[in-house]
Chains A and B, each alone.
Chain A
């Protein structure tokens, strides 16, 4: 620890770490300096001049911007002198010259830094009588973001975010001086997975989202802190609602996890909560027709099925459950029957992972403190977007990045070494001797490594990743972050014994061993590689109970369909993220109709069946979930609600995953998921429903040549099934590789272990050249 420096601010002696910015040092000592452009997570620019303070120098007192001035020992600072006040008044008078003051119709009004600081530090009146600057009000800079250039005060927060943090600088200052505006390049919209963050950090109402625009006033909003369950990152979020409707999600600055940022899917994929298509009443299938039924009747009918405790029950659980939900199912299965119980997770890539004795598990923060990061996993930008941001941050701080595999091509532009198709074959095996790769010697051997490892595609052999790990483990000081990407997967690991994936579900489940199947928040028929097989299995079973938000391809097969409350704002619980950090999921809005939480459903069912359960409340389930942990350190509600634990509590445990290897060496396809798909929740979220609607595949250059593709479209044919898609050429793909995103409609209906015929399709537009 380096020595502290002492400085005098407004006559008060304060202490600070050296090399800190003055504005930050003051903030930490409770002295607030107003600012617009400075943001803790962005590089300082000194654009707005709002943070001017007086500092004593050998040449007398001088006004300096505190966001670009570092502290030094014995510095004497005045943040409230008359000169500073005059400067602040001047800055605000200038900023307001061109600001339209359309606060009454502005979404930001009420939580607007410009409004607030004008009240607190402003001159009260303006001497400007000329015409203000005018721009077309608001322009769409992407499908979901709008920009009102009249309101913009040119703080450069959005442009810096897109350049420094998300790495897709598609907005910039255009022109100079009085004409300066933020804009995109013509026909090159601000298409970023992280664009919503710019709306959140905009200090005025210049950037707004189509999602929240004109929906509510900040003073009408109710809010609570929760955790996003969109992927395994578990970003801290603030939920906002008005009149019992969820209206907005904001990122909360959780230093260890998301540092305030969110991906756009996490931010806008809540709109389905308000959809009219949500299931609101239980449905029972009678003669192939769904009939509305009272929930009590569901309980009593199912109670009959399970009463004798000899019923063979199985579970197919999604990743959007809370830990308490998982525990409820575990308790249920323990009471009801068999000794050794498996739980099937809705994941077609589930693999045993690296949790052995010799594995040192990493935390997300280890990315910053290691010498190099080694990645071989699913495309992190698509699947765990905020982890991708954390990798970017680490690389910016000088950590080296070594990336394996064409699946992680999105990291190749910041990687020090990218081992693409020459090193990783189309069967997802490393085909070269890792120890002989030149850069590995320099960057990896003997160094502190954080490895992000996981399976890239369902048909990849489990051992291929293990080999890389073993090399790293014996040649470097390595820690591993297992990259399971789906929602609360780690919560399932923590609370359930013996979890398996969809490949095992397909092999294990049959009429003989299953009388009753629960499918909870999962749509494997609509969105997995095993779509057809799972469909026929489900159709062969006696009783299938599905719990879900919507009716979809899987839930429509069920005998009973129970409307489920959403984990996003409609129920309480806990969530465990990729580094086993457990944090709170909170409730803000009532869930519609007769929807129930999963744990409520299963507990009531047991009550109806006359089965005695101790865990009949959320609190008891929560305690049960962590009963093996030291009570003061366990993430039970009492502990999580302490202010010091709002960012979550880490309890690393090594889970038991008993999925089997589903490697088929003939895999010709790389099957993955894009961030935006067209799952039921996405389809019913207006803002992002269009973003994932395009049906397309990515192909290697070899494929284009082989099948003679020219028109930009091709048709995939297998048996009866024909799907026409557009294709994009990905130069980083090896030979004959075809990438198929299974979270886009229809594409998952193919049997990927067999040949799919590809024919070029003729596009009308291409023929009608005028």
Chain B
């Protein structure tokens, strides 16, 4: 077992939330992603033992979903939307600029392991198109210039927690609508931020 006690304890807590062990597979994979930045074969072995299915069955699920990365990611996963609403609102330029700045092709990670870039299908922010996500924290109404500013900021500050609201305020534009809830919590890894998974943290 390559997971430490703390992680295993967390995993067992998650498994208890479901009537069947194997139903916890999805969250456990996110947990593995938050640990290593990708789903390692070691983690797959651990999970397979925890939920009582074979390793290849875990592998099958983890490779089916593109949010479970098969290769190590950088500290920040930049996902720029390329679907239709964003495309109409000039997302291709955002994509170009981000790629230019980071020097990355689709699904590549830079040498410092800071950025992983991907152009993705709809992220559900059409009202605020073009939109992008940093570690699944969404920023809407991003101009090509602001996208670069965002990248520069990440590179300079290297925040441990990225918070959607904060990035929206500094680098975003039009929002689809106002959520009216101040949310100071953000993602701490390239897994989406969930409280139960402890992949989220409040930024002080």
Give the dominant DSSP class at B's interface.
helix
A169 contacts which of B44, B57, B65 (Cβ < 8 Å)? B57
- Among the stretches A78-86, A183-191, A651-659, the one at the interface with B is A183-191
Once bound together, how far apart are the Cα atoms of A173 and B60, in whole Å? 6
Chain A residue with the shortest CB-CB distance to B58: A185
The smallest beta-carbon distance between B120 and chain A, in angstroms, is: 15
Decide if B54 touches A185 in the complex (CB within 8 Å). yes
Decide if A171 touches B64 in the complex (CB within 8 Å). no
Decide if B64 touches A183 in the complex (CB within 8 Å). no
Indicate whether B17 reaches chain A with its CB closer than 8 angstroms: no
Indicate whether A170 reaches chain B with its CB closer than 8 angstroms: yes
Once bound together, how far apart are the Cα atoms of A184 and B53, in whole Å? 14
Give the dominant DSSP class at A's interface.
loop
The smallest beta-carbon distance between A424 and chain B, in angstroms, is: 25
Once bound together, how far apart are the Cα atoms of A188 and B48, in whole Å? 13
Instruction: List the B side residues contacting A175 at CB < 8 Å.
Output: 63-64
Chain B residue with the shortest CB-CB distance to A171: B56
Once bound together, how far apart are the Cα atoms of A530 and B141, in whole Å? 84
Indicate whether B55 reaches chain A with its CB closer than 8 angstroms: yes
Indicate whether A59 reaches chain B with its CB closer than 8 angstroms: no
Q: How many residues of A contact B (CB 8 A)?
A: 14
Chain B residue with the shortest CB-CB distance to A186: B41
Indicate whether A416 reaches chain B with its CB closer than 8 angstroms: no
Indicate whether B97 reaches chain A with its CB closer than 8 angstroms: no
CB contacts under 8 Å to B, within A160-185, are 168-176, 183-185
CB contacts under 8 Å to A, within B41-74, are 41, 44, 53-57, 59-60, 63-66
Decide if A172 touches B41 in the complex (CB within 8 Å). no
Bits for A147-168, please: 1 = Cβ < 8 Å to B, else 0: 0000000000000000000001
Asked whether A185 and B63 contact (CB < 8 A) given A169-B54, A170-B54, the answer is no
A185 contacts which of B55, B64, B65, B66 (Cβ < 8 Å)? B55
Instruction: List the A side residues contacting B57 at CB < 8 Å.
Output: 169, 172
Instruction: List the B side residues contacting A186 at CB < 8 Å.
Output: 41
The smallest beta-carbon distance between B42 and chain A, in angstroms, is: 11
Instruction: List the A side residues contacting B53 at CB < 8 Å.
Output: 169
The smallest beta-carbon distance between A79 and chain B, in angstroms, is: 33
CB contacts under 8 Å to A, within B135-194, are none
Asked whether A174 and B41 contact (CB < 8 A) given A169-B54, A188-B55, the answer is no
CB contacts under 8 Å to B, within A183-234, are 183-186, 188
Chain A residue with the shortest CB-CB distance to B70: A175
The smallest beta-carbon distance between A711 and chain B, in angstroms, is: 22
Decide if B56 touches A170 in the complex (CB within 8 Å). yes
Instruction: List the B side residues contacting A170 at CB < 8 Å.
Output: 54, 56
Decide if A176 touches B59 in the complex (CB within 8 Å). no
Once bound together, how far apart are the Cα atoms of A184 and B41, in whole Å? 12
Once bound together, how far apart are the Cα atoms of A170 and B56, in whole Å? 6
Instruction: List the A side residues contacting B54 at CB < 8 Å.
Output: 168-170, 172, 185, 188
Once bound together, how far apart are the Cα atoms of A168 and B54, in whole Å? 8
Chain B residue with the shortest CB-CB distance to A174: B63
Instruction: List the B side residues contacting A183 at CB < 8 Å.
Output: 56
Once bound together, how far apart are the Cα atoms of A171 and B65, in whole Å? 18
The smallest beta-carbon distance between A109 and chain B, in angstroms, is: 29
Decide if B64 touches A169 in the complex (CB within 8 Å). no
Interface centre among A172, A183, A184, A186 (most CB of B within 10 A): A172
Instruction: List the A side residues contacting B60 at CB < 8 Å.
Output: 172-174
* Chain A contacts to B: CB under 8 angstroms: 168-176, 183-186, 188
- List the 5 shortest-distance A-B pairs measured between CB atoms, nearest first: A172-B60, A185-B56, A185-B55, A172-B56, A176-B64
Apart from A169-B54, A175-B63, A188-B54, 9 more pairs, CB < 8 Å: A172-B60, A173-B60, A174-B59, A185-B41, A185-B44, A185-B54, A185-B55, A185-B59, A188-B56
29 A-B contact pairs sorted by A residue (CB < 8 Å): A169-B53, A169-B54, A169-B56, A169-B57, A170-B54, A171-B56, A172-B54, A172-B56, A172-B57, A172-B59, A173-B60, A173-B64, A174-B56, A174-B59, A174-B60, A174-B63, A175-B64, A176-B63, A176-B64, A176-B65, A184-B56, A185-B41, A185-B44, A185-B55, A185-B56, A185-B59, A188-B54, A188-B55, A188-B56
* Chain B contacts to A: CB under 8 angstroms: 41, 44, 53-57, 59-60, 63-66
